[in-house]
Amino acid sequence: MAEENHQHHHRGPWGHLVRGMWRSPLGILGVVLTTVSATLMFLGLIVEVFGLTDNIYVPILAFMILPGGLITGLILIPLAAYLRRRQWYKYGIAKDHLQINLSDHRHRRMVIWFTVLTVMFFSLLVVIGYEGYEFSDSPFFCGRVCHKVMAPEYTVYQRSPHAKVACIECHIGPGAQWFVRAKISGLRQVLAVMTNSYSRPIPAPVEHLRPARDTCEQCHWPDKFSGKKVKTFIHFTNDNQTTPEKVDIALHIGGRNPVTGEFEGIHWHVSKNVKVRYLAIDKKRLHIAKVKITRPDGSTDEFVKKDMKIPADINQSETGEDSGWRTMDCIDCHNRPTHTYDLPEDRVDFGLLSKKINPEIIGIREDSLAVLKADYNTRDEARAQMTNRLIELQTNRHGIDYVKRYDADLRKAGAYLLDAYLGNVWPNMNIKWGTYGSHIGHQRSDEGWGCWRCHDDEHADAAGKTIPQNCDLCHDEPK
């Protein structure tokens, strides 16, 4: 007894307190959690900084899960001590015993250790916090971590003109408010992925996308658009696989006319003091019943498509959260600025032009389109079957000798077509050819996509003037 007392005395009240912190199971858990998390985080940080692995679970662990462990551990240790406070009284520790006496060498050592460890922990947390924040904003995170879900968006993004623009530049943009909204909706999305409850395909248009004026206009703005842009379109037909039919158009990009100072042309819709609002009757915004415009001089006009019935659940009031009206911005035309899907005809025609598909093989355009558009249950099934199907169609057409002669060409074409398929179709996400249409132009106007949603000569104002479709409004022949 006497000896024990002596020991207690030797340890001092601080000694009991510190020992008490981690002598309970909870305290030990806290110490283990803290040490293991901190060590692994440190290792993960080194691996990431030196780029030693591409494994996406390393940054997820190091930057997102382990910091949680570290903080939990750091909370558990004092909590354990607090839960054992009865012991303090047993050892007779009173508040006034707990003084830090810097002339006591044990106290000095403790204070130094405590300071060093605290500084180390906080430095690690700051670096990890920063890396984690950068990481959770990177296209790699957005596109790869949810790899099954976002694979299509990431794949098509990588071949677009915005491949070097981070996802967050368009999906979050500047400012704290949208940052917080994005992280909250990000959490919801992670939950949806974990519970497998997300929609396939992910619906477009994105309902709560940040207004494009806040995002796109960081890099592009209507004042800077001007003049014309010449574009060449190249088509083949099943009857003519060898000589391309070329169409050149000069698009009236518009913007501010440097001579008159007026806004004109295609970007008139988003220019200063012009407001175009519309009422669509479907979620995809393909069917537009009414269009209202405000011109720079303040005059207004309303165009109505008379034969379009507006369903009762569309809120026609112009204001309020669930108003059916939308102010036109960049996305109403550039709905595919970076998630750009191709059309099968365009891929086949490009193959013929670039000779990846040998145009001399009779019937190859038609057969290519057939195998490209065929239904495959999975991407693996397409990998296994596409070239064989092409060869089979050609054999039916020409017999085995012809096919043997062109064997190498047919295999090359098959590989090219498979590539085109894999860049555009994800059966597991229900993304087929044409699922995500583009509003630039009118190539798919019969399905409701593009400029002719409004420019159809059928939306008329009270005086009978319509939103025009004359062919030289938007483009002419380049001179």
Interacting residues with ligand HEC between 258 and 277 (CB under 6 A): 264-270, 276
Site for ligand HEC in 389-448 (CB under 6 A): 436, 439-443
Q: Which of 28, 204, 250, 353 binds ligand HEC (CB under 6 A)?
A: 204
Nearest distance in Å: CB 46, ligand HEC = 27
Q: Is 281 in the site for ligand HEC (CB under 6 A)?
A: no
Q: Is 12 in the site for ligand HEC (CB under 6 A)?
A: no
Yes or no: say if 309 and 472 are a contact pair by the CB < 8 Å rule: no
Q: Give whichever of 12 and 222 is closer to ligand HEC, judged by the CB atom.
A: 222
Q: Which of 119, 120, 187, 247 binds ligand HEC (CB under 6 A)?
A: 247
235 three-class SS: strand
Q: Give whichever of 71 and 192 is closer to ligand HEC, judged by the CB atom.
A: 192
Site for ligand HEC in 63-92 (CB under 6 A): none
Rounded CA-CA distance 353/236 in Å is 9
Nearest distance in Å: CB 157, ligand HEC = 5
* AA letter at 259: V
Nearest distance in Å: CB 249, ligand HEC = 5
Q: Which of 75, 191, 400, 471 binds ligand HEC (CB under 6 A)?
A: 471
Site for ligand HEC in 164-193 (CB under 6 A): 165, 167, 169-171
Q: Is 142 in the site for ligand HEC (CB under 6 A)?
A: yes
340 three-class SS: coil
Site for ligand HEC in 438-467 (CB under 6 A): 439-443, 451, 453-455, 467
Q: Is 210 in the site for ligand HEC (CB under 6 A)?
A: no
Q: Is 288 in the site for ligand HEC (CB under 6 A)?
A: yes
How far does CA 160 lie from the centroid of its chain?
13
357 phi-psi bin (left φ>0, alpha ψ -120 to 50, beta other): beta
Q: Is 279 in the site for ligand HEC (CB under 6 A)?
A: no
Closest residue by beta carbon to ligand HEC: 441
Yes or no: say if 351 and 416 are a contact pair by the CB < 8 Å rule: yes
Long-range contacts of 267-272 (CB under 8 A, 24+ apart): 267/222, 267/225, 269/328, 269/332, 269/333, 270/213, 270/222, 270/328, 270/329, 270/330, 271/222, 272/222, 272/223, 272/296
Long-range contacts of 312-315 (CB under 8 A, 24+ apart): 314/279, 314/281
Span of 35-43, 210-218, 309-317, 407-415 interacting with ligand HEC by CB under 6 A: 210-218
Site for ligand HEC in 212-231 (CB under 6 A): 212, 215-220, 222, 225, 229, 231
**Residue at token pair 């043997």:** 404
How far does CA 279 lie from the centroid of its chain?
27
Q: Is 141 in the site for ligand HEC (CB under 6 A)?
A: no
Q: Give whichever of 79 and 151 is closer to ligand HEC, judged by the CB atom.
A: 151
Nearest distance in Å: CB 150, ligand HEC = 5
Q: Which of 41, 74, 172, 331 binds ligand HEC (CB under 6 A)?
A: 331
Rounded CA-CA distance 371/90 in Å is 83
Q: Is 253 in the site for ligand HEC (CB under 6 A)?
A: yes
Q: Which of 51, 161, 261, 311 binds ligand HEC (CB under 6 A)?
A: 161
Peptide linkage before 205 cis (omega within 30 of 0): yes
- Exposure class string for 150-178: b at 16+ Cβ within 10 A, else e: bbbbbbbbeeeebeebebbbbbbbeeeeb
Q: Binders of ligand HEC: how many residues, by CB under 6 A?
A: 76
Nearest distance in Å: CB 47, ligand HEC = 23
Nearest distance in Å: CB 376, ligand HEC = 21
Half-sphere exposure of 379 (CA within 13 A, CB side): 18
Q: Which of 338, 368, 387, 394 binds ligand HEC (CB under 6 A)?
A: 338
Rounded CA-CA distance 191/65 in Å is 15
Q: Is 334 in the site for ligand HEC (CB under 6 A)?
A: yes
Nearest distance in Å: CB 283, ligand HEC = 11
**Residue at token pair 């501010």:** 256
Yes or no: say if 93 and 61 are a contact pair by the CB < 8 Å rule: no
Q: Is 352 in the site for ligand HEC (CB under 6 A)?
A: no
Structure tokens at 479: 């001179």
Q: Give whichever of 72 and 160 is closer to ligand HEC, judged by the CB atom.
A: 160
Structure tokens at 333: 């035309």
Q: Is 33 in the site for ligand HEC (CB under 6 A)?
A: no
Yes or no: say if 22 and 80 are a contact pair by the CB < 8 Å rule: yes
Q: Is 233 in the site for ligand HEC (CB under 6 A)?
A: yes
Structure tokens at 281: 């009757």
